[in-house]
A = this chain, B = another copy of it.
Amino acid sequence: MNAFSFLDIEREKGITMVLDKGLSPDFINDYLKVCGEYINFIKFGWGTSAVQNRDIVKEKIRNYKRYGIKSYPGGTLFEVCFSRGMFDEYLNECKELGFEAVEISNGSMDLSLEDRKNAIKMAKDEGFIVLTEVGKKNIEKDKELSIMDRINLINEDLKVGADYVIIEGRESGKSIGLFDKEGNVKLSEFETLINNVPVEKIIFEAPNKNQQVEFILKVGNDVNLGNIAYNEVISLETLRRGLRGDTFGKIQ
């Protein structure tokens, strides 16, 4: 039971995906006592899992799993492996390490639609939850993607079997995807997007508070949000429930 439970402020379902860029195993155990119940997915950001000891990675995944949290390596690691012709090795190692999900992306490399679809299918066949990502890491390349390009790709991914599609926001949340260079949400593109995709299948990367607030107020407090810093999970949870000034009195 939470403190101040007389407030009776439950919230609708809605995914929270958190960025782990090198947390340590005992710290994780302690940390999850406070916010384990609010996290659905943990992303071992980009290629960070490949510079951590194998046994430590396994231990961390187990720690998360105890709270029902599903771990996956960042899309960049998929891209590094795929571009070297090592996708089989990749899926195999993911399975051995205990990852329950994988991310298929083309943020840093070219990937034909055909290859993308096959990768999604293969990962599904191997039993993984599949998250795909739409967007480019490079600002200029990302700008070349129109909002309709993004919508089409999202719907293609879902049709092939992706479980969720992530909208790229990077760790910075600036000049990328739905964000302008100050990190504000580009509202017209955002509205076009949510009118043309099943929003419950979308995870919006939203590393900054103003973005989390915007998505919660526009979509609802059950919006799926990702790239949440590990130490902002409790803060996000208060935003979702109207317990912080930014959403006070604005949550139904």
Contact = CB atoms under 8 A, between A and B. Distances in A.
Interface string A64-76: 0000000000001
A200 interface: no
A108 B233 contact: no
Given A54-B3, A57-B3, A81-B7, A245 B49 contact: no
B245 A51 contact: no
B235 A48 contact: yes
B50 A34 contact: no
A183 interface: no
A21 B235 CA distance: 7
Interface string A226-249: 000001111101100111111011
A231 to B, nearest CB: 7
A182 interface: no
Interface in A23-60: 23-27, 30-31, 33-35, 38, 45-54, 56-57
A225 interface: no
Nearest to A234: B22
Dominant SS at the A interface? Answer: helix
A231 B229 CA distance: 12
A199 interface: no
Interface stretch (A84-92, A144-152, A159-167, A215-223): A84-92
A14 interface: no
A188 interface: no
Given A24-B34, A234-B21, A248-B109, A243 B50 contact: yes
15 contacts: A2-B52, A4-B93, A6-B93, A7-B80, A9-B50, A26-B26, A45-B235, A47-B241, A48-B235, A51-B237, A77-B243, A80-B243, A80-B248, A107-B245, A108-B249
Given A3-B50, A4-B47, A77-B243, 8 more contacts: A2-B50, A9-B50, A25-B30, A33-B56, A34-B53, A51-B237, A80-B243, A137-B245
